Amino acid sequence: MGRLEVLYLIFNEGYLATQGDDWMRPALCEDALRLGRVLAELLPTESEVHALVSLMEIQASRARARTGPNGEAILLLDQDRSQWDALLVRRGLDGLARAEALVPTKAGPYLLQAAIAACHAGAREAADTDWPRIAALYAALMHVAPSPIIELNRAVAASMAFGPAAGLAIVEPLCADPALVNYPFLPSVRADFLAKLGRFAEAKAEVERAAALTNNARERALFLGRAAAYAREQR
């Protein structure tokens, strides 16, 4: 495992805690960002280092908007974007520009992920998001660093860009992938697509499975809230 991957794993555990009672662990995000900035100073000509710092800056900019007054989880599309940290967004976009200027031949995985984050940062409202571009960036990322989780993210982008049936077509083969057998976001994503297609009973079962798989209390509450909403739609 490379040093950039370790850094991003630390950041992600802070950004979306895999267990416990809290949705986020901000101190881990701050530690990863601090180490990333130090690394960028030590390796000023490395595109992927600047790209990773850019990615973390943009994601960290959403921290205040990711939880409600009682610590409840708020997903990206439901966030109050006026709460996003404009300084961190600007720093992240500047870092992405540096990374793009230094890219040797083709974009690396962190540059592509930073470009995806920049698409979200550039949308003043969720409805303004350039989902076709995000779907294309995830497709490019699958060529550079293929993984079932990236494919799952591509499915989400495809659903937003081209409709839930397009997303479901990408997700269905992933249900047989052993790497995702205990990954709660696979049934959660599938549930979202099914609900948008009016298949609420199936959606409820899937999101309840997601709730059973997660070890994070806030995440479980989010999933169970969705299950209750799908149950109401069945009536």
In the predicted structure, residue 104 carries a pLDDT above the cut 80: no
User: In angstroms, rounded to a whole number, what is the distance separating the alpha carbons of residues 204 and 195?
Assistant: 8
**pLDDT for position 169:** 98
Exposure of 177 by Cβ count < 10 A (0-12 exposed, 13-18 middle, 19+ buried)?
Answer: middle
pLDDT class for 1, splitting at 50, 70, 90? low
Across the range 170-187, mean pLDDT stands at 96
Query: What amino acid occupies position 69?
Result: P
User: In angstroms, rounded to a whole number, what is the distance separating the alpha carbons of residues 154 and 134?
Assistant: 8
Are 46 and 117 within one domain? yes
Are 105 and 157 within one domain? no
Are 30 and 118 within one domain? yes
Take residue 120 and report the two structure tokens written for it: 């979200």
The reply to whether 212 falls in a domain is yes
The reply to whether 140 falls in a domain is no
The reply to whether 197 falls in a domain is yes
Are 95 and 19 within one domain? yes
Which structural domain, as residue segments, surrounds residue 100? Answer: 1-129
Are 51 and 119 within one domain? yes
User: Where among 94, 129, 164 does a domain terminate?
Assistant: 129
Strands, E assignment, 108-230: 215-216
Are 81 and 194 within one domain? no
* pLDDT, averaged across the chain: 95
**Count of domains observed in the chain:** 2
Percentage above 70 pLDDT, the chain: 100
The reply to whether 30 falls in a domain is yes
* pLDDT tens per residue across span 34-58: 999 999 999 999 999 999 999 999 9
Are 116 and 171 within one domain? no
User: In angstroms, rounded to a whole number, what is the distance separating the alpha carbons of residues 146 and 140?
Assistant: 9
In the predicted structure, residue 100 carries a pLDDT above the cut 90: yes
**pLDDT for position 119:** 97
pLDDT class for 106, splitting at 50, 70, 90? confident
Residue 48 CA: distances (Å) to CA of 71, 104, 227: 33, 10, 40
Tallying the residues shown for the chain, one arrives at 235
User: Where among 80, 100, 129 does a domain terminate?
Assistant: 129
* pLDDT tens per residue across span 111-155: 999 999 999 999 999 999 999 999 999 999 999 999 999 999 999
Are 10 and 116 within one domain? yes
CATH number at residue 174: 1.25.40.10
Are 42 and 97 within one domain? yes
pTM of the model: 0.94
Are 157 and 122 within one domain? no
Percentage above 90 pLDDT, the chain: 89
The reply to whether 143 falls in a domain is no
The reply to whether 123 falls in a domain is yes
User: In angstroms, rounded to a whole number, what is the distance separating the alpha carbons of residues 96 and 47?
Assistant: 9
Are 41 and 114 within one domain? yes
The reply to whether 138 falls in a domain is no
Look at 104 and 52; give whichever has higher pLDDT. Answer: 52
* pLDDT tens per residue across span 54-76: 999 999 999 999 999 988 889 99
pLDDT class for 2, splitting at 50, 70, 90? confident
Are 153 and 110 within one domain? no
The reply to whether 134 falls in a domain is no
**DSSP structural state of residue 76:** G
**pLDDT for position 115:** 98
